[in-house]
Amino acid sequence: MSRDLDVLVVGGGSFGTALANILTGLGRRVRLWVRREELAVEINSRHTNSRYLEGLNLSPSLVATTNLEEGVRGSPAILVVVPSKAFRDTAKELGEYVTGDQIVVHATKGMENGTFMRMSEILREETCAIQIGVLSGPNLARELVAGQPAGALIASRFDAVVDAMQSLFKGGMLRTYGGRDVVGTEVGGTFKNIIALAAGVADGLGLGDNTKALLVTRGLSEMARLGVVMGADVFTFGGLAGIGDLMATCGSPLSRNHQVGERIGKGETLDAIIASMTHVAEGVPTTKAVYEFLRSQNSELPIVSAVYKLLYEKLSARQAFDQLMTIPVGGELATLRFE
């Protein structure tokens, strides 16, 4: 099979566009697959993505396409960067063209509602890909497009996947570190969205740095407790895919999840916030998925429960924080058990 590309990036949102832009700037042969023809035209002619990266210019060499089959068949490596709610449908489309010798890495941070599956599990179910991995870390898209230094973790059971991705990003401002803990990397990227919502609510309520430090550290504890019982290596959460991602998204106004939480804290309704946004805030569906997954295991994590009730049971922001502060205090390093 003829392959004239280095990588196909699937997904024209802010993060997918940012990653494709980085790779293009490094001289890689890249195609960015987008679903809407008008977006492909804008990227190819004006070198912008005004819907997701307003005010930023992209590399003139970045080429977008709406032809998924051509892109897949032309590339040895595929980087999937779509919202979690669209991930399975996209994986099914990829499954029509992907071959077993291609590398498929995703950069989606979420858990599928209903099945509670991680994105790598969906890729295995919907495609014949064997060499699968995940890219995650503190990667705010606007900063990436602006060329600011950043780091990411690439995790896979296959050394060839890590080597290929590190080779693609070599020489740029996004430093890619390698690892084998796919579960921990995915759990970290998923869970940090929930904590970022909570941190945003704290800001919206006018609470201080002590409160946010409490949320982030207890959020990290909840992340690690969930990850470990799912089979993750606890040390993963002390790196880029854990505390690193939490630091970026819980304190930055560029974080969509933080933005949503802050607006809730200031009194706006979730429905009104979502209606006003062009971007996806993964924390909203992710909170529901993680909460229901925990309930299916007869288990609970306090911050997850508080954010769920805030989003889906109309609990006020102040009530949510009051509930968190009345939970009995146990050992700081308590473990999570599933029944």
Residues 285, 170: Cα–Cα separation, whole Å: 34
328 backbone dihedrals φ, ψ, rounded to 5°:
-55, 140
Alpha-carbon separation of residue 96 from 79, 133, 334 (angstroms): 16, 19, 45
Q: What is the largest CA-CA distance in the chain?
A: 62
CB atoms near residue 68 (< 10 Å): 19
- Whether the CB-CB separation of 78 and 10 falls below 8 Å is answered with yes
Distances (CA, A) of 19 to 168, 253, 277: 11, 20, 22
Q: How many angstroms separate the CA atoms of 113 and 108, rounded?
A: 14
CA 277 to chain centre: 17
Choose among 1, 17, 114: nearest CA to 56: 17
Active site residue ranges: 192
Measure CA of the first residue to CA of the last residue in the chain; give whole Å.
Answer: 49
